[in-house]
Structure 1
């Protein structure tokens, strides 16, 4: 693979001249530009984007930090972000923090040192000081970081209300709410939406706090099913809903004739389960694409017409709920 010295030798100029040409800095004669361009084409030279970003303190790299790449919600978001970024000439660097604050902070520091052009972040932590001092653009997705940072997400409270209302309309009287972790914005909003739906209704509710993890959800729901009688579950994610479905299967409880289940997110997982999972769907591609466009506008010095965007959710009715009571 050719390097900058090979280009300089083929063009008959100095390495410094080639560097000025590649970085569009300083004076270069038209003749030097011509011979360097010919050498670059002849050698099929591809300049190192990282090296160029170090010299110019600018780059076309975007850092994307997510808390759990195993959760199917985040790969679908990442796909949209990458598609839009590539269309605008940017490359996405995906970082999975594993919900580890120290790991997340290290990613931020490392990418900042590499002069990334900006960040798109979905953090699961309340501590956000490591974002506040950055002098590069940031856009938050799915969960707020700070009022000063642009943010795009689904209207989670309204989405959860719609999903819970569907269980009520389908005849559920004893409903388990598998709320997400307390203190996490989307989880708190969905729990609020659940409460909006059940407030004043003549039903029994049971609440458990469950991380967005399949195995943990399965274990927790097995315990609930062994202790109380429930006929409906509202889960704060498709992953935890899938865990609940497996727990019901293990307990020989038929879905949906004996137990109805509604998930949240609208990931591909929901349509691939048997029976198909009724879920409150987020427009994940739209969220990711809008986040990428917002960030690129900020990188390129443009003003945002909106700094906070909430996208409506949609109930997708499949086979884990009954169409009538």
Structure 2
């Protein structure tokens, strides 16, 4: 079997250069990287991952805990986390908590037993003190936990502000916000805060209906919309800001079934712009895009920076910009 020294000799570079290419660390020119990769292919060289892990006292596995990988936003997010981790030679273990605190705790224990190097936490059903006790690096998505657990998320307040201002600029006078679970201390609830503050600033009448706790499917949101908003109630509003695109789409279908024309009589705006939204042919939802690709890369890079930091340096929180995507529902 070829060794790393054989690869270095074949490529005409130092062993340290081959190591940097394999670990994707430090500056390597494109030309040098191609020479090393060509040499590895020519010699059919495959790094010994077990030996590498033992040498560095790392497993090169990371975990990600999400509420439900079937939800399009989290499905997209997992894809970009996996792609980013793979570029750094890390593998990903995926866990679905289904917003169950006991299941979430069991997954953290399982990941600890499997000696993962760190966790990306996208499910937040446990109390804050429980996360602080986890003995390896954690990066949180959309929730501030503590000063030594960095958070990555989109600018939720700005997203709520953009959505509400857009509806008001289009002439809406009576607004409704269908929110997520407001009892959880998560940054997504800043969308609700922005909706309230912006509506009050413009003197617009508004209402809020609190949304789902643990179901992220279309069937659930369809039931939620039809059970919580009567046709007569829906006719009282001329603009609705939904906490995600699936509930926005469910609301659109419900309104159309009741003979309420969208956007002429009712304007609807969602949140996420994930693969589900982009796949829809009709209607094209007006929505707020939180870029799952950039968030996934930032979550992964932040976690790996913590894992590979020799001195345990504190990593800053990261906020990713959001964008209004104009569609056919406003």
Following superposition, the deviation at residue 53 of structure 1 comes to: 6.3
Runs of 4+ in 1 over 4 A off after TM superposition: 44-49, 51-57, 302-306
Following superposition, the deviation at residue 242 of structure 1 comes to: 1.6
State yes or no: 1:300 paired with 2:317. Answer: no
CA contact (8 A) 2:142 2:188 kept: no
1:1-325 correspondence to structure 2 within 5 Å: 49=50, 58-184=58-184, 185-211=186-212, 212-222=216-226, 223-228=228-233, 229-273=236-280, 274-301=282-309, 306-321=315-330
| CA offset digits 1:171-201 (Å, max 9, x no partner) | 1112111011013313421100111210143
Q: How many Å separate the matches in 2 of 1:53 and 1:120? A: 20
Distance 1:300 1:45, change over 3 A: closer
Following superposition, the deviation at residue 46 of structure 1 comes to: 9.3
Following superposition, the deviation at residue 244 of structure 1 comes to: 1.0
Equivalent position SS for 2:300: helix
Q: How many Å separate the matches in 1 of 2:203 and 2:56? A: 65
Over the residues paired in the alignment, what is the CA RMSD in angstroms? 2.5
Following superposition, the deviation at residue 297 of structure 1 comes to: 1.1
| CA offset digits 1:262-315 (Å, max 9, x no partner) | 001121222233211100110111011011011111111256685211111100
Q: How many Å separate the matches in 2 of 1:209 and 1:246? A: 20
Q: How many Å separate the matches in 1 of 2:194 and 2:231? A: 27
Q: How many Å separate the matches in 1 of 2:164 and 2:177? A: 9
CA contact (8 A) 1:173 1:203 kept: yes
Q: How many Å separate the matches in 2 of 1:115 and 1:63? A: 10
CA contact (8 A) 1:65 1:95 kept: yes
CA contact (8 A) 1:118 1:138 kept: yes
Query: Paired residue for 2:19?
Result: none
Structure 2: gaps of 5 or more residues: 1-42
Equivalent position SS for 1:215: helix
CA contact (8 A) 1:234 1:261 kept: yes
User: How many residues are aligned here?
Assistant: 279
Per mean C-alpha deviation after superposition, the further-off stretch among 109-118 and 144-153 is 144-153
